[in-house]
Amino acid sequence: MSIYVFFLFLIYCSVSWCQYDLADVTRDTRMSVNDDMFVTASNAFINFAVLLYPFRNATAGEPISCNIIYSTSDFFVRSIAVVGVTKNSTNSEQFMYVFTAEKMSTITPYVCTVTVTKSTCAASYSCTVLGRNGYHPEYFLVGVDTNSTHAYGFTSEFVFKLDIYANEIVLNLTTDDVWPSQSFIPHALDVADTWAVVAGYGYEYLLVQGENRCVVLHVIFIYFRTGTYRALYQTVGCLIDLSQLINASCVPITSETSYLIPSNVISYNELYELSVAIRGQKVLIGIPRLSSVVILCHFGSSLNVTRTHLLSFMSSPSIGRVVDWSDDTTIAILIDDAYETDWSTTQIFFYDEDLVTITSPFFTFPNNQQIMGTRLLRPKIARFMITTGGNMGMITSNDDMLIIPLASTGYVSTWNETTKRTFSFYYIPTICIGGTYKNRSSLGPCSICPPGTRNPSLSSTGISQCMSCSSNASCPLASLSEINFTTAASYSQAVPYPETTDATDIEDFLIENVFQINSKPHCVLISPLFWALVVGGLCLLYLTFILLTHLFNCTSCMRCHGRAKIVFKHTDIINEGEMWLGGLATFAIVVLAAFTYWFSVSFIRRYPIENIFQPATFACDESLINAQFSTGLELLTIPKSNEAQPIFNLLDKQTFNLTVELINTGFACSSITVQENLLTSKYVVLPSDCHRSIEIAITSVTITLPKHLTTIQVNMTGPYSIGGIRLCVRGQGETNGAYTLRELDFCQFYMTANQVIGRYTYVPIVFVKNINVTQALDTKDPTVYSGIWMPTFSEVSLSDEDYYTEYGNYLRYTSSLTVLQVMFDEHPFYMKNIQQPIVRAPELIFHNLLFTSLCIELFAFAFLFLKLLVIPICRPIVHRCNKTINRNGEHYNEDVSKSTDE
């Protein structure tokens, strides 16, 4: 009994509503559009949505929307073909379209013409019955010639020609007169002026003698009864002479490699869909089952296949379900699920007719400049058509109408957001956004400016070419302005920690600075040895003066010298007052000691290095400091001393403020959001402070980081590009007694020459704690600690140019989301820098005393050298000289006395 009921149900469904899917918009061609009229049919709501002048702009009066109810609710509309403004219409008041339908209660095919009055949206129907009752054509195609005089209908059983204005069937033929075989199933149609092309499926035996046809029909019957036989179908394109409609000239358009299932060919199956579009003498056919598009050329009374393109998107189940010509050389192909987008599950790819590959599209629709609004809820594009004027209309799987007018040079048709309750959505031509241009009329987006050019988009009219940048400026791809590196420079607080000089002993400094004379004038003037030599020179002059007084036997001078000897003996610290020459040498020692003490006092004050702002004018080496340094890495996990722990606490509590400067971009603050990424794809939205400078094309976003170790994601929604990014991290400083947390302020600029920042960029920043430990000059004072976070940057991939080169430049326009992730991390080690004085005051005093005694001992050694070696050698020489002088004097006196006696 249950099996009987089941078969009755199947029989009922075969002649009832089960044949009609009221919700499926994808099947059939329930839309048609030309430059004057756009009509879609909704069998679910039993109405036609009609737009008159759909592509007319606001200044010309905007489109007129009409809602026309079916003449009977029993109609199921299969196909539509618009006529547009009627030829006998006054002031373009009357519009007309043709549709084919079935009366569901009787399964009767109809063809109807509808005349719509523009001013009132009133509609009048004229319908004609075709065929016989009980016949249900799965494919019921209709088209209007380019002269808008006749409508043509095609099914697998009959073909008709309708005089539109007389509402008269001119021809009504069976398929025996038209198709090579009754087994031909038409799937798609396009009509030119005097000819048409119908694409469908037919047996391979179509080209064989007629006796096999009956066998074929029998095979079809056996298949449906048993479901065990597979017949070989082939995809065929047929050329129809519209004047006669008979004896179509058909040509295979594919080389089949597998058997087709007849049930999928005869009944509706989306995978077995075909589509046809005519442009001039060229015909474009889409075959989604084979992911192919075929271009044929109309020569006289036949069609010739000139080119076959095979596409393969791994994620796409359907390629080419709908195809059309965008212009004379550009084709448009509907592709399902090419990849994930935010706007729709399908996309229209635009190609050059000679180059159709995965990577070669000019652009796709929708794209980041031509989005589909969120009200459409990411629909599927059911059908689209491009008019002879280059405008495009489409319907979605939700039966919404989209109207995309052709945009002229310098303009792009963009989504017009609306809050109206409507089924039609319009795109409005707008000026190309900053950083782009458009040099021809098309349905697509504007192209990005090449390197070395820019478009600030400050003009009220569109531009066809980007302006050149100055020779010394940087203008990467999609530039709005020239990048000024002075305003986007990198800077950092990270400086190399000083290295300790080779001399770390105060004696080395004293000896080097006391007993050295440099050729530099400054070094000579401050050299203790120089001034000691000056004093020694004066002493030598005094000794010379004394010798001269003895030679000339100046009694008064000798008396003065005697008194001076007494004074010099009292100042003699070398020989303990024994030698008046020691008193003279003492003056040199005093000069050396004075300069030494001056150097020591000045040197000890040059500590710590943070307090030194002036050069060391007291020394020849003006960089001289009283500090020695050591640095090293220590693990953070090592316990800290009670004395050092507070500086780590200050560093851990410091609040970071991240500023992201988007250089050379058109992103507005309203299109930017910031989030903190958590584990398992969770995130928290963060507040931000955003500012934009239109003149220099910089958008700056500042975020307070909730913690140090985190990942911040900046989401930028829109079609704009970014020429460069500057990341700045800042934090306030704090002082707590001997502990100073230094203010944090650094910026890092990222850019790739002649390229833009990729749609997804990841920048890691690893911080290192930098602890400076400054020991006190006086041991009674506390040790001073200061700390600062030091960033380290890694080389990151900024541009996805290689990705575009590999997978197609059109991908630049397929995403409206640009993501920048900045990950903050901390190194497990921290840097410890220790600064301590080379010498402290007590040690310096002691060393100065030692150095003074050293100077005295050096002079004493010199006197000892004179006394033990020089004087003993010189004394005989002087004695002999004196004897010679005395002998010569005696001879002289004798001679004088003799001369006197005479």
**Distance between CA 123 and CA 291 in Å, rounded?**
41
Q: Are 195 and 161 contacting, i.e. CB atoms less than 8 angstroms apart?
A: no
Q: Say whether both 777 and 640 belong to one domain.
A: yes
Whether residue 691 is found in the same domain as residue 792? yes
pLDDT (average), residues 369-386: 92
User: Are 639 and 732 part of one and the same domain?
Assistant: yes
* Run of H or E residues at 861: helix 841-865
| Confidence bin at 896 (pLDDT 50/70/90) | very low
Domain membership of residue 127 (yes or no) is no
Which H helix or E strand runs over 74?
A: none
Average pLDDT over residues 406-431: 92
DSSP string, 424-470: EEEEEEEEPPTTEE--S-BSSPPEEPPTTEE----SSS--SSPEEPP
Contact call for residues 566 and 480 (beta carbons, < 8 A):
no
Half-sphere exposure of 609 (CA within 13 A, CB side): 20
**Are 639 and 720 members of one domain?**
yes
CA distance 338 to 332: 14
CA distance 895 to 877: 27
The answer to whether the beta carbons of residues 381 and 401 sit under 8 Å apart is no
Q: Are residues 322 and 438 in the same domain?
A: yes
| 8 A C-beta contact, residue 703 and residue 657 | yes
Supply the pLDDT for residue 231.
Answer: 47
Distances (CA, A) of 170 to 80, 151, 165, 166, 190: 19, 10, 12, 10, 19
Q: Domain end: 418, 441, 468, which one?
A: 468
- Confidence at 303, pLDDT banded by 50, 70, 90: very high
Per-residue pLDDT, 863: 64
Instruction: Give the residue among 812, 818, 819, 761 at the shortest CA–CA distance from 450.
Output: 812
Positive/negative CA dihedral, 19, 25, 26, 29 = positive
User: Is residue 252 reached through a cis peptide bond, with omega within 30 degrees of 0 on the bond before it?
Assistant: no
Domain count, the chain: 3
What does the DSSP 8-state code read for residue 866? I
Residue 3 is predicted with a pLDDT of 43
For residue 803 the two structure tokens come to 């990705």
Q: Are residues 460 and 544 in the same domain?
A: no
Query: If DSSP codes are grouped into helix, strand and coil, which group holds residue 839?
Result: coil
Q: How far apart are the first and last CA of the chain?
A: 192
Q: What span, in angstroms and rounded, lies between the C-alpha atoms of 28 and 519?
A: 100
Mean pLDDT on 548-571 = 62
Contact 50, 38 (CB under 8 A): yes
Top-confidence range, 230-239, 244-253, 720-729 = 720-729
* Residues 744/789, Cβ–Cβ less than 8 Å: yes
Mean pLDDT, rounded, of the chain: 83
Residue 821 covered by a domain: yes
Query: CA-to-CA distance for 562 and 560, rounded, in angstroms?
Result: 5
pLDDT of 580-622, one tens digit each? 566 666 667 777 777 777 777 877 888 888 888 788 777 777 7
Give the domain-ending residue among 417, 442, 468.
468
Residues 423 and 524 in one domain: no
Helix axis angle, 555-570 to 528-551, nearest 10°: 140
Positive or negative torsion for Cα 477, 481, 485, 488 = negative
Whether residues 728 and 639 share a domain: the answer is yes
Q: Of 486-495, 708-717, 737-746, 752-761, which gets the smallest average pLDDT? A: 486-495
Higher pLDDT, 141 or 623: 141
Same domain, 778 and 728: yes
Q: Which residues of 798-835 are buried (b: 16+ CB within 10 A; e: fewer)?
A: bbbbeebeeebbbbbbbbbebebbbebebeeebbbbbb
Chain centroid to CA 234: how far?
Answer: 48
pLDDT of res. 204: 53
Specify if 269 maps to a domain: no
Q: Are residues 604 and 650 in the same domain?
A: no
Output the six-digit token pair for 251: 């040509």
Indicate whether 237 belongs to any domain: no
Q: What would the pLDDT profile of 251-298 be if each residue is shown by its tens digit?
A: 999 877 566 777 778 888 888 899 999 999 999 999 998 899 999 999
Residues 601 and 641 in one domain: no
Residue 844 scores a pLDDT above 60: yes
The reply to whether 694 falls in a domain is: yes
In a domain, 43, yes or no: no
> Looking at the domain assignment, is residue 7 inside a domain?
no
Sign of CA dihedral 291, 276, 188, 186: negative
CA distances from 630 to 788, 790, 833 (A): 17, 18, 6
Backbone angles phi, psi at 227, to 5 degrees: 70, 25
Containing 285, the helix (H) or strand (E) segment is strand 282-287
Does residue 897 fall inside a structural domain? no
813 contacts: CB under 8 Å, gap ≥ 6:
363, 364, 367, 368, 369, 445, 719
Chosen domain end from 438, 468, 498: 468
Which structural domain range is residue 446 located in?
311-468
Residues 560 and 654 in one domain: no
